[in-house]
Amino acid sequence: MTENLDNSILDAPRIVVKPPGPKSLEILKQQEELETSALNYPKYFRIAVKEAKGSTIIDVDDNIYIDWFAGIAVVNLGHNNPIIRKAIETQLDKIWHYLEIPTEIRIEFMKTLRKTLNFDAKFLFTTTGADAVEAAVKIARWNTGKRYIIAFNEAYHGVTAGTVGLSNSTNHRKFQPYYDNNVIRLPYPYEYRCPFRDCLNEVLSLVEHEIKINDVAGLIVEPIAGEGGYIVPPKGFLKGLREITTEYNIPLIVDEVQTGVGRTGKIWAYEWEGIKPDIVTIAKAIGEGIPISLVAYNKDLDKLPQAFHLGTYRGNPLGIAVGNATLNYLMNSNILDRVVSLGEYAKKRFDEIMENYYKGKYDVRGLGFMIGVEFSNERKDPINVKPYIETLLEKGVIMYKAGIYDNVLRFMAPLTIPKQLLDRGLEKFEEAVKEEPRNA
């Protein structure tokens, strides 16, 4: 049932000319002339894209790739998904922009979304992940009248002026002094590289200590650190944070921008720990590529003045229609079970492959379709994975990096990927690891 929805090209990958082919090169050259030097992704994937189907991407030279990137965990139900396409087309015939003036689909979406959350939520629409995080932090500060936000060292919450202070990625840390400095940064419980003997409890006691001695307005956390390296914290982390923040009456903001909308095998990753957050940020896959995001917050926090957070494009009807279709699909199909079982299968295969070639000098971790493969050498020194990304692309698999040292490859395929493309991708991954021990 799930796989029929995914119109992937089933004999992918098919590489007819080594990427970048001549047509890709020409377009990349023109892009460089026209667009900012701050581009990021074309530095990793040297191709120009023609079209996409399901879990496959076709470049302008007619190479076909298996997509394990999903536009950075956005196209969770696959490219050109017929259900999503229909939701967009139906809404397109009605209206595609009218600010906050309500539409039927807007109300329907919020009612659907409420069914997926385990607390009595109200909603504030935004446009991007960072916009949702900014609004969430404002809600926490407004309600508590306090200043500091606790965030984690491996965190990524966006890079706008209002979020870069919360993100600690290597490329963005240097901008922090110019923006929001009211952030207390603590280590995430990153067990593979943890300086503490008891990672979980030491981190939790640091959190409690900082809350005791500072004017803390809120704590923001990713259930799995995404850009930070697909780091799965030890069991009990979110629960521990919930207990501490409840005790000190501090809003707990769970950033589900990357982990949400089914990626880990639950609609929201916080469900794995059975906690009730105060504020949840939602973006990326809720719109399947149509820019939409929002904040869900406990109705007790709904003391916000008129026009508290504005933005012309918030709550776009096309994005809302997609969000509604996406959540209904997640709730009414067997896809979440599939993500858990296929995710476990993929994790085991990644582990076997890495053990064969890296013999203990690696870490494979993940939940559902959020799997990280960390490379290191003898002394656990991080290994930059860029050469693997290039080799994988040449073999027809699109896979991206994560980690504050760029030392993690992350698997974030569409949740609908056909099993045969998952297996073929794993074969290519094994070939790449075998051929690419440049840094080992």
Ligand X SMILES: Cc1ncc(COP(=O)(O)O)c(C=O)c1O
Residues near ligand X (CB under 6 A) are 128-130, 133, 156-158, 222, 226-227, 255, 257-258, 283
Determine which helix (DSSP H) or strand (DSSP E) holds 281, and give its type and residue range.
Answer: strand 279-282
Question: Smallest distance, Å, CB 90 to ligand X?
Answer: 25
The CB-of-416 to ligand X minimum distance in angstroms stands at: 21
Minimum CB separation of residue 264 from ligand X in Å reads 13
CB atoms within 10 A of CB 59: 25
User: What are the angstrom distances between the C-alpha of 302 and each of 170, 264, 280, 312?
Assistant: 35, 29, 14, 21
- Number of Cβ within a 10 Å radius of residue 4: 9
Q: Which of 386, 72, 410 is nearest to 229 (CA)?
A: 410
Work out how close the CB of 251 gets to ligand X at its nearest, in angstroms, rounded to a whole number: 17
Instruction: Please return the burial class of 291, using the count of CB atoms within 10 Å of its CB with bins 0-12, 13-18 and 19+.
Output: middle
Q: Is 247 exposed, middle or buried (0-12, 13-18, 19+ CB in 10 A)?
A: exposed
User: Taking a C-beta distance cutoff of 8 angstroms, is the pair 410, 371 a contact?
Assistant: yes
* Least distance to ligand X, CB of residue 285, Å: 11
CB-CB contact of 151 with 185 (8 Å): yes
Nearer to ligand X, 128 or 264 (CB): 128
Q: What is the DSSP letter of 119?
A: S
Residue 311 CB, nearest distance to ligand X (Å)?
13
- Residue 102: both structure tokens together: 């309500």
Residues counted in the chain: 440
Of 245, 251, 238, nearest to 367 (Cα)?
238
- Is residue 363 within a helix (H) or strand (E), and if so which, with residue range? strand 362-367
Residue 248 φ/ψ region, left for φ over 0, alpha for ψ in the -120 to 50 degree band, beta for the rest: alpha
Contact 383, 376 (CB under 8 A): yes
Q: Which is nearer to ligand X, 358 or 411 (CB)?
A: 411
Question: Would you say 227 or 406 has its CB closer to ligand X?
Answer: 227
Give 406 or 436: the residue with its C-beta nearer to ligand X: 406
The DSSP bridge partners found for residue 231 are 225
Closer residue to ligand X in complex, CB, 57/269 = 269
Structure tokens at 258: 């990357």
Q: Please, which residue, 160 or 333, has the CB nearer to ligand X?
A: 160
Task: Retrieve residue 409's tokens.
Answer: 């490859």
C-alpha 23/C-alpha 28 separation (Å) is: 9
Q: How far is the CB of 231 from ligand X (least distance, A)?
A: 12
Between CA 316 and CA 287 the distance in angstroms is 10
Helix (H, G, I), strand (E, B) or coil at 218: strand
Nearest distance from C-beta of residue 26 to ligand X, angstroms = 29
> Judged by CB, which is closer to ligand X: 105, or 224?
224
8 A C-beta contact, residue 290 and residue 96: no
CB of 158 to ligand X, least distance (A): 4
Given the complex with ligand X, which of 109 and 400 has the nearer CB atom? 400
**Least Cβ distance, residue 66 to ligand X (angstroms):** 22
Listed residue (253, 404, 265) closest to 346, CA to CA: 265
Indicate the SS3 state at residue 182.
coil
Q: E strand or H helix at 365, and its extent?
A: strand 362-367
- In the complex, the smallest distance separating the C-beta of residue 132 from ligand X, rounded to whole angstroms, is 7
Q: Which is nearer to ligand X, 222 or 436 (CB)?
A: 222
Q: Which residue is nearest to ligand X (CB)?
A: 129
Nearer to ligand X, 241 or 257 (CB): 257
Nearer to ligand X, 134 or 363 (CB): 134
